[in-house]
A and B are shown apart, each in its own frame.
Chain A
Amino acid sequence: KQEVTQIPAALSVPEGENLVLNCSFTDSAIYNLQWFRQDPGKGLTSLLLIQSSQREQTSGRLNASLDKSSGRSTLYIAASQPGDSATYLCAVLDSNYQLIWGAGTKLIIKP
């Protein structure tokens, strides 16, 4: 059974710092991995999607990597800003076409 874990559960850093969020999964049989952002009380915003054949994706200050063999993904945020404060969720599309989610990392960027 696929399980997704995100570490840390919460992170607080000063504005301007670069940071890394981690996501691990137990079964490497995935179609893709996706990172989402969720603001309090809101829905999901898709940030980056990495297909199983890819190693990384970039969008602006965000870079996501995927190492399928070790069951790990990282989301790198460069030059963090207070507007980056949110909960970040990762999800894998498993072999049954189901998105399996981590519990999220709550990120606070201090001005």
Chain B
Amino acid sequence: ETGVTQSPTHLIKTRGQQVTLRCSSQSGHNTVSWYQQALGQGPQFIFQYYREEENGRGNFPPRFSGLQFPNYSSELNVNALELDDSALYLCASSLAQQETQYFGPGTRLLVL
């Protein structure tokens, strides 16, 4: 059984560009959550997808959007990148919404 994987591991973008981050959930997990962790801070909840529908969203603007596919993998899209979007982006999957979340290694995004 493979764990949660994320790609790419690192990414450098410039202000105003768009980025797509990808997450493959653990086998059998139908729920994926995304978090942003700025340097020196705890992670912040972005949103959660449950069976391909967005199910809960944190305090992030609409330029942060996502998708979940029929195989339960997920994408996080960020438009019009800002310098403050530089962070570690973490994805977690779980068997169900209230079950333990298992984390991927993260994607480190640097916006210049």
A interface residues (Cβ-Cβ under 8 A, vs B): 4, 31-32, 34, 41-44, 46, 49, 89, 91, 93, 96-104
Of all A-B residue pairs in the complex, the 8 with the closest CB atoms, nearest first, are: A101-B42, A97-B97, A43-B105, A43-B106, A98-B45, A103-B42, A31-B98, A44-B103
Contacts of B98 in A (CB 8 A): 31, 93, 97
Q: List, in ascending order, chain B residues with CB within 8 A of A91's CB.
A: 42-43
| Bound Cα distance from A103 to B37, whole angstroms | 10
Q: Which size class do B's interface residues fall under?
A: 20 to 34
Instruction: List residues of B (32-73) whose CB comes within 8 Å of A's CBs.
Output: 33, 35, 41-45, 48, 55-56, 58
B103's nearest neighbour on chain A, judged by CB, is A44
Q: Among the interface residues A4, A34, A98, A100, which one has the most CB atoms of the partner chain B within 10 A?
A: A98
Q: Judging by beta carbons under 8 Å apart, are B90 and A101 in contact?
A: no
Bound CA–CA A93/B41 (angstroms): 18
Give which listed residue, B45, B92, B106, B108, contacts A100 with CB less than 8 A.
B45
Q: Are A97 and B56 in contact (CB under 8 A)?
A: yes
Q: Is the CB of A98 within 8 A of B105?
A: no
Q: What are the residues of chain A within 8 A of B41 when measuring CB–CB?
A: 103-104
Give the chain A neighbours of B105 by CB distance below 8 A: 42-43
Q: Does B2 contact A (CB under 8 A)?
A: no
A104 closest partner in B (C-beta): B42
Q: A44-B103, A91-B43 are in contact. List 7 more A-B contacts (CB 8 A).
A: A4-B42, A42-B105, A43-B88, A43-B103, A44-B90, A97-B97, A103-B42
With a cutoff of 8 Å between Cβ atoms, the chain B residues found around residue A101 in the complex are: 35, 42-44
Query: B42, A43: Cβ atoms under 8 Å?
Result: no
When chains A and B are docked, how far (Å) is the Cα of A103 from the Cα of B33?
Answer: 19
Chain A residues, CB < 8 A from B104: 43
Contact with A along B9-26 (1 / 0, CB 8 A): 000000000000000000
| A100 CB, nearest partner CB in chain B, Å | 7
The residues of B that contact A41 with a CB separation of less than 8 Å are 108
Q: How far is the CB of A55 from chain B (nearest CB, A)?
A: 18
Of chain A, the residue at the smallest CB distance from B48 is A97
CA distance A102 to B101 in the complex (A): 16
